[in-house]
Amino acid sequence: MQILLTGGTGLVGRALCRHFSQQGHSLIVLSRDPGKVAGLCSGARGIGSLEELNVTDAVDAVINLAGAPIADRPWTKGRRRMLRESRIDLTRNLVDWMSRRDQAPGVLLSASATGWYGDRGEEQLDETSAAPVADFASQLCQDWEAEVMRAAELGTRVACLRFAPVLAADGGMLARLLPVFRLGLGGRLGSGQQWMPWIHLDDLVRLFDHLLSNDSCQGIYNACSPMPVRNAEFTRILAQTVRRPAIFPAPAWLLRLALGEMSILLTGGQHVMPKRTADSGFDWQYPELSAALQQLLHKPA
């Protein structure tokens, strides 16, 4: 199978490239710096634009991961525009390109985020839950998914994965938290009572493989552990795993002062359950947080 990836040089994309190349699939990665793709993405072919692919370059599947990081900097007007362009505009262009192919790719798997659900307090959520009154992050996900789903009109099987924060030792949220927690300076965020979905990187890769391999899988899938925790519990378990105390909470007012509207990513919560994911037959390797962190932080070198 030949797979086209957008956003393939990021944390998840690199892991997917390793996985699918080991299975013998051929990989093409759309990147702003195609010369670096082979080194970063397990020998994948790098392209700088979709127009570099001609009709003889068969594409059997597309995995769409592209999107500027949402939590790297405050949501200024310019940053909001970049976040939308890097997700919505790119996805629109991708689906338009698929529509111009003599034969559209058979399957499109696309990233979204559990931020789609907004800050929902104690409400238990799954893939059938109604959309919230949207904040910026939620509306971004809703508009992104709308562009992805246009591909179904081409006869392409489409699945959207709503990512929870991805746990990996060498990137993402966990890599940013570790230096603070290893110094014993970690603590809960806000009240600590907000629900916090999460997923181990290996399980996310396995979920992509599962959805790609099963022709009956289409629609929305929550890419998260079936055992979400509250932020205070996440903090306690992470501190315990690195054998340090966690006694320095960050008050909600301070986070709002420092981050503005973006603070909702830290103080808001979603009690998200992966119902359709479980119903599809997917089985988690790391459903429980303590075991997931132990494997990531104490695995043999």
Tracing tokens 């037959």 back to the chain, one arrives at 281
Q: What is the pLDDT of residue 237?
A: 96
Which residue spans within the chain are E strands per DSSP? 2-6, 26-30, 45-47, 61-64, 107-113, 124-125, 157-163, 166-167, 195-196, 199-200, 219-223, 229-230, 271-272
* 145 part of a folded domain: yes
Contact 222, 280 (CB under 8 A): no
Is residue 112 in some structural domain?
Answer: yes
Domain extent at residue 264? 60-294
Nearest to 59 by CA among 99, 16, 15, 13: 99
DSSP annotation of 161 reads E
CB-based contacts of 251: which residues, under 8 Å, 6+ apart? 190
Across all residues in the chain, what is the average pLDDT?
A: 93
Q: Quick check: is 38 in a domain?
A: no
Asked if residue 17 belongs to a domain, the reply is no
Angle, to 10 degrees, between the axis of helix 201-213 and the axis of helix 11-22? 50
pTM recorded for the entire structure = 0.95
The pLDDT of residue 3 is 98
Residue 40 reports pLDDT greater than 90: yes
Residue 275 lies in a domain: yes
Q: How far apart are CA 282 and CA 301, in angstroms?
A: 29
Tokens of residue 56, six digits = 């003889």
Q: What is the dihedral of CA 289, 290, 293, 294, to 10 degrees?
A: -150
Q: How many domains are there within the chain? A: 1
Among 17-21, 86-90, 113-117, 266-270, name the one with the lowest average pLDDT.
Answer: 266-270
Q: 154 pLDDT exceeds 80?
A: yes
Structure tokens at 96: 């338009």
Domain assignment present for residue 22? The answer is no
d(CA 46, CA 43): 9
Q: Given a cut of 80, is residue 299 above it in pLDDT? A: no
Question: In this predicted model, which residue has the larger pLDDT, 57 or 82?
Answer: 82
Lowest-pLDDT range, 20-24, 97-101, 148-152, 267-271?
267-271
Q: Among 51-55, 136-140, 201-205, 254-258, which range has the highest average pLDDT?
A: 201-205
Predicted confidence at residue 259, as pLDDT, reads 66
- If 0-12 CB within 10 Å is exposed, 13-18 middle and 19+ buried, where does residue 22 land? exposed
- With respect to residue 135, please indicate whether it lies within any of the assigned structural domains: yes
Indicate the pLDDT class of residue 207, thresholds 50, 70 and 90. very high
Percent of the chain with pLDDT over 90: 79
The H-or-E segment that residue 82 falls in is helix 77-84
Tell me how far apart the alpha carbons of residues 280 and 211 are, in angstroms, rounded to a whole number: 9
Q: What is the CATH number of the domain that holds 159?
A: 3.40.50.720
Q: What's the pLDDT band for 282 if we cut at 50, 70, 90?
A: very high
Residue 300, pLDDT score = 59
Q: Place 264 in a pLDDT band, splitting at 50, 70 and 90.
A: confident
C-alpha to C-alpha distance for 153 and 120, rounded to whole angstroms: 32
pLDDT score, position 257: 61
Percentages (nearest 5) of helix, strand, coil residues in the chain: 45, 15, 40
Name the band, by pLDDT with cuts 50, 70 and 90, for residue 301: very low
pLDDT tens digits, 68-122: 988 888 889 999 999 999 999 999 999 999 999 989 999 999 999 999 999 999 9
Residue 99 within a domain = yes
Strand, coil or helix: what is 214?
coil
Give the mean model confidence (pLDDT) for residues 16-35: 96
Q: What pLDDT was estimated at residue 80?
A: 94
| Beta-ladder partners of 6 | 30, 64
Instruction: Give the model's pLDDT for residue 262.
Output: 63
Q: How confident is the model at residue 63 (pLDDT cuts 50, 70, 90)?
A: very high
To which residue do tokens 């290893």 refer? 182
Question: Which pLDDT band, with edges at 50, 70 and 90, does 261 fall under?
Answer: low
Q: What is the pLDDT of residues 208-247, one digit of tens each?
A: 999 999 999 999 999 999 999 999 999 999 999 999 998 8
Provide the pairing of β-strand 199-200 with 229-230. unpaired
Q: Specify whether the CB–CB gap between 203 and 284 falls below 8 A.
A: yes
Sheet with 61-64: list strands edge to edge.
45-47, 26-30, 2-6, 61-64, 107-113, 157-163, 219-223
CB contact set of 35 (below 8 Å; sequence gap of 6+): 46
Q: Under a CB-based contact definition with an 8 Å cutoff, are residues 177 and 252 in contact?
A: no
